[in-house]
Amino acid sequence: MAAEKVIGYARTSTVEQAAGFEAQVRELEAVGATKIFKEQVSSVSHRAQLDALIDFVREGDTVIVTKLDRLARSMRDLLEIVAQIEKKGAGLRILAMNLDTTTATGKLMLNVLGSVAEFERSMMLERQAVGIAKAKAEGKYRGRQPTARRQAGQVEALLEQGLGPVDIARKLGIARSSVYRIAEKAIHERKAKKQLLIEEI
């Protein structure tokens, strides 16, 4: 039978300082991580190294992260990740929360957190439904904005902040070709508006 391993996961977004990334790695090594999966990617993007970690772990192993937000984008995301880790027969420790799913107390904490997250989601959906009903009654409801339009708005905002197409693609989890297409369309629209203003003058 293979020896049990302590496996670390370190993540920062592409815009965070390298020092914070190195600090995570040092902290994971200090608590005995013999292998550390590392990546610099936004939590909303595909996390290839996290997938690799879950594929790598075996029964009896312990996965360690420094903080909750390094691992999961939401409580629902955390519960899904924990389920995948436990399916492999491994456990999870979150150092900042002193949470260890291999202990009875850790399992209880996780269940409480999951219940709170589900309650908050139910309340949010209820408030959303009330807001939509009110907007419909007042004739102000326009429905959900199409995904492509939301992406275009995000891309244009990030371009104005000075981010390059590659960084924007990573941050939003979309293809670089989509960023270039949206940027090109925005430039054409600005030129068309400028030409229209000139003609009106």
What is the β-pairing status of strands 99-100 and 91-94? antiparallel
Catalytic residue, chosen from 13, 43, 45, 178, is: 13
What is the β-pairing status of strands 6-12 and 62-65? parallel
Give 98: exposed, middle or buried? Use CB within 10 Å, 0-12, 13-18, 19+: exposed
- Specify whether 13 is catalytic: yes
Query: Where in the sequence numbering do the catalytic residues fall?
Result: 13
